[in-house]
Amino acid sequence: MKPALVVIGNGMAGMRTVEELQKLDHDMYDITVFGAEPHGNYNRILLSPVLAGEKTIDDIMLHTRDWYVQHGITLHAGDPVVHIDRKKRIVRSQSGLEVRYDRLLLATGSTPFIIPVPGHQLPGVIAFRDIQDVETMLEASRNHRHAVVIGGGLLGLEAANGLLRQGMEVTVVHVTDALMNMQLDKPAAMLLQKALETKGLRFMLSAQTEEIVGPDRVTAVRFKDGSVIPADLVVMTAGVRPNIALAKASGLHCDRAIVVDDTLQTYDPRVYAVGECVQHRKALFGLVAPIWEQARVCGAHLAGAGHRRYVQQTSPTRLKVTGVDLYSVGDIIGGEGSEDLVLRDARRGVYKRLVLKDNRIAGAVLYGDVQDGPWYFGLIQDGTNIASIRSHLLFGEALCARAA
């Protein structure tokens, strides 16, 4: 009999790890996957284009139910695991199914953070994380007019853009005075805001939500300064928290998330974890690029080919709003010992800022012309000394190559 691998979480990290494992050894385990969502595995990133009407749910499926059958994997979709008994090595699902494991993979992702203001539990207040949320938003856009998105980060802006494309009047509320303040500096954030205002979005910056007004369904949002705006739908995009309740209850060592080593193993050698539910050397994860690398390493260790080690690397951020070109990577704050190179062309709507440290690029913010983003990213990753191309650096790879 083959050893049993149980995967908890039928999302991007879990299934990518299964794929990586099967690339190395297709028949090593009897694999059982439990998913809380009632679907096959889909590309969560592409929920934004689905909301904007540019893609359908079918377009974004990565693994349909047939795929699991073809690959000899047992899928229990819509049946979350509610208990792990690490002594007996058994997981139990909500429907009462019990499955024994030799290896367990936790890939439970994150849970959206809902700001606990009065009224946050009213119907019409949702997050933006899964197919269900998108369906709720699409339904609201057919029957209602005013949407408020709380959180002006990447996810919030993609939600706002999608709802606008569906015909709603959308206001984005953000607690600081600049959009995407984790990834952009002020000038880039201003350009972004202008471009989105031209598309029809409204913004309330430096705004603190005090209450979501009901009584039976959301009707308005009230702010600390006393102002009130109408709302039939409130989308909270104020960050996520690693989904670790199950791991914690099973006694696995967790800090802010499930603590793993460089092989993605938890403190229990039979249990691995990947994706947004893990903490690796103090870091948490919220983008897929590092998660693909975790999956590659974890898949190899599950396959018994334990020679890979997970090494953290910086990942670029892009906004998926058609017509808005934005690229941000690395340390964009700088600080002591760093220098800035800036190119600003207001008429073309182009802004580029490179943060340099010791003749190396530490970070890049590009707005309007992002063609050289991957090249700068490569220079960051390789730690290339840019002293000889410094004067041409902002004009991009082509010019630097010609000047060399």
Ligand X SMILES: Cc1cc2nc3c(=O)[nH]c(=O)nc-3n(C[C@H](O)[C@H](O)[C@H](O)COP(=O)(O)OP(=O)(O)OC[C@H]3O[C@@H](n4cnc5c(N)ncnc54)[C@H](O)[C@@H]3O)c2cc1C
Interacting residues with ligand X (CB under 6 A): 8-14, 34-37, 44-45, 47-48, 80-81, 107-109, 128-129, 155, 158, 243, 246, 275-276, 286-289, 291, 320
- Closest residue to ligand X, Cβ-based? 11
Q: How far is the CB of 326 from ligand X (least distance, A)?
A: 11
The whole-angstrom separation of Cα 294 and Cα 284 is 12
Q: Which is nearer to ligand X, 193 or 317 (CB)?
A: 317
Name the minimum Å distance from CB 285 to ligand X: 7
For ligand X, which is the closer residue by CB, 180 or 400?
180
Helix (H) or strand (E) holding 84: strand 81-85
What's the token pair of residue 236? Answer: 């909270």
Q: Which is nearer to ligand X, 9 or 363 (CB)?
A: 9
Q: Which is nearer to ligand X, 128 or 203 (CB)?
A: 128
Residue 200 CA neighbour count, 13 Å, CB half: 13
CB 105 within 8 Å of CB 273: yes
In the complex, least distance from residue 281 CB atom to ligand X, rounded to whole angstroms: 17
Q: Quote the least distance from Cβ 255 to ligand X, whole Å.
A: 17
* Least gap, CB of 372 to ligand X (angstroms): 20
Residue count of the chain: 404
Contact present, 258 and 247 (Cβ < 8 Å): yes
Residue 111's contacts (CB-CB under 8 Å, 6 or more residues apart) are 129, 240, 241, 242, 243
Q: Which is nearer to ligand X, 230 or 286 (CB)?
A: 286
Run of H or E residues at 236: strand 233-236
Query: Please, which residue, 50 or 400, has the CB nearer to ligand X?
Result: 50
Q: Are 174 and 81 in contact (CB under 8 A)?
A: no
Q: In what order do the strands lie in the sheet with 209-213?
A: 209-213, 220-223, 228-230
Q: Least separation, in Å, of the C-beta of 227 and ligand X?
A: 28
User: Cβ(70)–Cβ(29) under 8 Å?
Assistant: no
